Amino acid sequence: MSGELQFSMFDTPVGVCGMMWTAQSICRFSLPELSPEATRERLLRGMSAVESEPKGLAVDARDGVLALLETGNADLSAIPVSYGALSSFDISVLETIRPLAPGQTTTYGDIARELGDVALSQAVGAALGRNPVPVIVPCHRVLAANGKLGGFSGGQGLPTKRRLLEIEHARTGHERMQPDLFD
């Protein structure tokens, strides 16, 4: 990661989110925690960044996230991201899910199979839990084999994952999720 780290907090339909970037890429994204202060703390944990008004690719990323959270349909796969010090395995997992469209889901096992070994399902879940840019890299679209939500480390955990999938009108298992379940 090169260049000065900058960050911004912004309102979305699901609450206050935070984003950190350089001139080249988005390097962190935080979903709403219990308070905007907690979201900010999570975003900045272990990092030193300057609060700034988004410019360039940061505007595109923010606007894309807002469009996704408002409409349930925005393609964020072209937004440049940086994975920091993640392992090559973690990066391969995250790059495997980048093309998943809003509303489309896959499973931990499907990703493991695509990477060559279904026994890697738990390692896939752990890699997704280290995703520094949730929503932009859509780890919320990965489910357990039985259609259950599985895990989620972003925002407030599984309620956040469920809400993101509802916004996208995603299918889990055999049932379509109710878009207004938590409204």
- Verify that 52 and 116 share a domain, yes or no: no
Q: What pLDDT sits at residue 173? A: 65
Express as a percent the part of the chain with pLDDT over 70: 93
Q: What would the mean pLDDT of 43-68 be, rounded to a whole number?
A: 97
Q: Which of 41-45, 97-101, 140-144, 174-178 shows the lowest mean pLDDT across its residues? A: 174-178
- Verify that 94 and 156 share a domain, yes or no: yes
Q: Does residue 38 lie in a domain region?
A: yes
Q: What pLDDT sits at residue 179? A: 43
- Verify that 31 and 106 share a domain, yes or no: no
Q: Does residue 179 lie in a domain region?
A: no
Q: Does the pLDDT of residue 2 top 80, yes or no?
A: no
Q: What pLDDT sits at residue 158? A: 93
- Verify that 105 and 56 share a domain, yes or no: no
Given the residues 26, 57, 139, 142, the one annotated as active site: 139
Euclidean distance between CA atoms 30 and 76, whole angstroms: 15
**Other CB atoms within 10 Å distance of the CB of residue 31:** 28
- Verify that 139 and 62 share a domain, yes or no: no
- Verify that 46 and 95 share a domain, yes or no: no
Q: Does the pLDDT of residue 34 top 60, yes or no?
A: yes
Q: What would the mean pLDDT of 29-50 be, rounded to a whole number?
A: 96
- Verify that 114 and 65 share a domain, yes or no: no
- Considering its fold, how many domains does the chain have in total? 2
Q: Does residue 98 lie in a domain region?
A: yes
Q: What would the mean pLDDT of 2-9 be, rounded to a whole number?
A: 88
Q: Does residue 130 lie in a domain region?
A: yes
Q: How close are the terminal C-alpha atoms of the chain, in Å?
A: 38
- Verify that 63 and 105 share a domain, yes or no: no
Interhelix angle 88-97/121-129, nearest 10 degrees: 90
Q: Does residue 77 lie in a domain region?
A: no
Q: Which of the listed residues 71, 100, 128 is the one where a domain comes to its end?
A: 71
- Verify that 93 and 140 share a domain, yes or no: yes
Q: What pLDDT sits at residue 84? A: 92
Euclidean distance between CA atoms 44 and 37, whole angstroms: 11
Q: Which residues share a beta bridge with 172?
A: 175
Q: Does residue 33 lie in a domain region?
A: yes
Residue 127 Cα distances to 38, 124, 131, 176, angstroms: 23, 5, 7, 27
Catalytic annotation present for 17: no
- Are the CB atoms for 131 and 76 separated by under 8 Å? no
- Verify that 23 and 94 share a domain, yes or no: no
Given pLDDT bands bounded at 50, 70 and 90, which one contains residue 171? Answer: confident
- Verify that 156 and 103 share a domain, yes or no: yes
Q: Does the pLDDT of residue 49 top 60, yes or no?
A: yes
Q: Does the pLDDT of residue 178 top 70, yes or no?
A: no
- Verify that 94 and 53 share a domain, yes or no: no
Range of the domain at 137: 88-174
Question: In whole numbers, what is the pLDDT of the chain averaged over residues?
Answer: 92
Q: What would the mean pLDDT of 91-115 be, rounded to a whole number?
A: 97
Residues 6 or more apart from 98 whose CB is under 8 A from it? 77, 137, 138
Task: Tally the C-alpha atoms within 13 A of residue 130's C-alpha that lie toward its C-beta.
Answer: 18
Q: What would the mean pLDDT of 117-132 be, rounded to a whole number?
A: 96
Judge if pTM exceeds 0.75: yes
Q: Does the pLDDT of residue 151 top 60, yes or no?
A: yes
